[in-house]
Structure 1
Amino acid sequence: MGHESRAPEPAQGESSNAGTPDTTRQNTLGEFLVAMRARLTPEDVGLRTSTTGRRRTPGLRRQEVAELAAVSIDWYIRLEQGRVGAPGTGVLDAIGEALRLNSAEREYLHLTARGETPPRPLPGSRAEVTASLRAVLDGMPLLPAYVVDHCFDVLAHNAAAAAMFGEDFGAGPAANTALLLFLEPQCRRTQLSWEQIARETVGALRANFARYPDDPRLHSVVATLRARSPEFAGWWEDHTVDERTRGVKLVLHPTAGLLTVAYDMLAAGGDTGQRIMVLTPVDAPTEQRLRALVGAAHHAASIRQRIQLPVRHGHHQPVGHQTR
């Protein structure tokens, strides 16, 4: 391969001694680029194997990425090592194209390399759910729906969500759907699509980690999951970025039985990082079971209200929460 490719002129703050990202961002960017190189073969990007020589490690070489992106090999090495400042958007797009990144991965690359993140909540704060958003939740009495933030903390939910997930949903151990998904054994048994949903959750947390790199709550959630869940720790190191907003999952509810639901993750608007998760039955049996489940929960709540009994938290087994 030729070495005639030249690195582009550095953008403002792109020199090695100006505008340098913090150590965490540098390490994250380098690890991400290495992981993205490792998943490709020369054939994937149109290179002939005969020209690449014998390979001791899988994936593309740095020189191959540099040539595909039309930058110098020395500059690309320094980029992976975190020894350049914020690259220009054009060169990042070229690298993204060379590494065959999808849209979520491209956004992640820009966020980690340039430090351009959207406004984020103040450390330790939880953005308020507006009255209009709560009205939207309550306006779907037969569809389980809830609001999560960028850490997957549950901020609000409707009665149908409580009927499906248990009366303690959004409180105590059930206050964060990512922690619940990975650390609650019952979720693995009831969530028949567990690995699919779990991998999507890791990818979404990885994307949010780039958007909110200084958020202590997000760091705490990720650190807890890496320490306590071998699956999460392994998938986190893959540097997969995934922001899937819809799909179908199967839940084996402890009382209602099999529920086949479509999930849609909707942006709540503004720059709060809030998302609305709505679960919709995809077949008539699931619709009937959900209707019966919600009706039974409403009836039980009415009885408690009449005789003024306190809610007994935790008497429902947690089911497979959709964290995305």
Structure 2
Amino acid sequence: MSANRPELSAFLRAMRSRVQPHDVDLPAAGRRRTPGLRRQEVAQLAAVSIDWYIRLEQGRVGVPGTAVLDAVAGALCLSEAERHHLHLIARGEAPPARHVPAPASDSLRRVLAGLPATPAWILDFRFDVLAHNEAATALFGPGFTVGTNTAEPLFLDPGTRAFQLDWDRIAREHVGNLRANLTRHPDDPRLRALIDHLRRASPDFAAWWDDHTVQERINGTKRVMHPTAGIMTLRYDVLAVQDGSDQRLQVITAADAPSEEALRSLIYPPSRLRVAN
């Protein structure tokens, strides 16, 4: 490892210098003495402490975990080849293969196809999105795509937290569900890496995880603040498929007439209706 420390330091500095704040949706405030991101910005994007990242860049953190290295790789916008190189020089071994979610079950896809006007999506037990309809994209935005994880932004993204007006309750439900899911899948490396990452990066997640809450999220009502449609009160239902895949269909419906009107305005905006006519 000591022979790779100079290479690790040089590589991280070089990768940091090529990423501009606007590349990762950060404001470019103030003059910069050197090009690229500041160390503090990389730490923020990777959800690690600035002290830890400085020590990583100086080669003084021992052998970092694979999940946190992947978080740094994501913050620095590394390609797959660059991610592979980072793991080799920081850990002395190749990184694990990137997780590819299993396909959504046929039965849930059929249900999803029959709900064009209702936001619906399919998750696995890791909260990875396996499939979704256009109505879900209209509600959550273009960043809601297959392969993304819904638990991470809930705890780590301020915009997602602001969207959920009942954040404390919804977030605790996610923690309880992840604990229940880990009981059923104790040897799943992707699930364990996700939980470990959230425990390090989110004090709220860590506190609620340590109180051993176990919960199966089935249905409920929540309020959201949509950037264009405003406040909506929505019902959510979680339907499990009984085929051994441990996948869930999540469906959103409006809880009152104003929310129904606002939700329909997102799914069927006036511009789309004009084109259709």
Work out whether the TM-score is over 0.5: yes
Counterpart residue number, 2:167: 194
Offset from partner CA, 1:74-107 (integer Å, 9 cap, x none) = xxxxxxxxxxxxxxxxxxxxxxxxxxxxxxxxxx
Deviation at 1:141, TM superposition (A): 1.8
For residues 107 and 240 of structure 2, the distance between their equivalents in structure 1, rounded to whole angstroms, comes to: 14
Matched, 1:144 2:106: no
Deviation at 1:140, TM superposition (A): 1.2
Larger radius of gyration: 1
Counterpart residue number, 1:208: 181
Whether the 8 Å contact between 1:199 and 1:235 is mirrored in structure 2 is yes
For residues 144 and 100 of structure 2, the distance between their equivalents in structure 1, rounded to whole angstroms, comes to: 20
Partner-residue secondary structure (3-state), 1:209: helix
Counterpart residue number, 1:28: none
Counterpart residue number, 2:209: 236
Residue of 236, 245, 250 corresponding to 1:263? 236
Identity value in percent: 51
Counterpart residue number, 1:168: 143
Deviation at 1:257, TM superposition (A): 0.8
* Unaligned stretches of 5+ residues in structure 1: 1-122, 304-324
Deviation at 1:298, TM superposition (A): 8.2
* TM-score normalised according to structure 1 size: 0.52
For residues 247 and 143 of structure 2, the distance between their equivalents in structure 1, rounded to whole angstroms, comes to: 21
Whether the 8 Å contact between 2:130 and 2:146 is mirrored in structure 1 is no
Counterpart residue number, 2:254: 281
For residues 154 and 297 of structure 1, the distance between their equivalents in structure 2, rounded to whole angstroms, comes to: 28
For residues 198 and 164 of structure 1, the distance between their equivalents in structure 2, rounded to whole angstroms, comes to: 19
Size of the alignment, in residue pairs?
178
Residue of 115, 128, 131 corresponding to 1:153? 128
Counterpart residue number, 1:295: 268
Offset from partner CA, 1:206-235 (integer Å, 9 cap, x none) = 001111011010011101100110000011
For residues 239 and 271 of structure 2, the distance between their equivalents in structure 1, rounded to whole angstroms, comes to: 26
For residues 212 and 187 of structure 2, the distance between their equivalents in structure 1, rounded to whole angstroms, comes to: 18
Letter in 2 for 1:279: I
For residues 166 and 136 of structure 2, the distance between their equivalents in structure 1, rounded to whole angstroms, comes to: 18
Whether the 8 Å contact between 2:132 and 2:146 is mirrored in structure 1 is no
Partner-residue secondary structure (3-state), 1:278: strand
Partner-residue secondary structure (3-state), 2:217: coil
Whether the 8 Å contact between 1:207 and 1:241 is mirrored in structure 2 is yes
Counterpart residue number, 1:17: none
Matched, 1:133 2:108: yes
Letter in 2 for 1:155: L
RMSD: 2.1
For residues 218 and 192 of structure 1, the distance between their equivalents in structure 2, rounded to whole angstroms, comes to: 27
Whether the 8 Å contact between 1:145 and 1:158 is mirrored in structure 2 is yes
Whether the 8 Å contact between 1:251 and 1:259 is mirrored in structure 2 is yes
Offset from partner CA, 1:277-300 (integer Å, 9 cap, x none) = 001101111111111100129829
Deviation at 1:142, TM superposition (A): 1.9
Deviation at 1:125, TM superposition (A): 5.1
Offset from partner CA, 1:135-184 (integer Å, 9 cap, x none) = 32121122111000000000000111000001120257xx1110011011
For residues 128 and 264 of structure 2, the distance between their equivalents in structure 1, rounded to whole angstroms, comes to: 26
Residue of 220, 228, 239 corresponding to 1:247? 220
Residue of 136, 151, 162 corresponding to 1:178? 151
Deviation at 1:251, TM superposition (A): 0.4
Alignment of 1:61-80 (within 5 A): none
* Unaligned stretches of 5+ residues in structure 2: 1-97
Offset from partner CA, 1:281-322 (integer Å, 9 cap, x none) = 01111111111100129829x79xxxxxxxxxxxxxxxxxxx
Letter in 1 for 2:128: D
Whether the 8 Å contact between 1:260 and 1:286 is mirrored in structure 2 is yes
Whether the 8 Å contact between 2:131 and 2:146 is mirrored in structure 1 is no
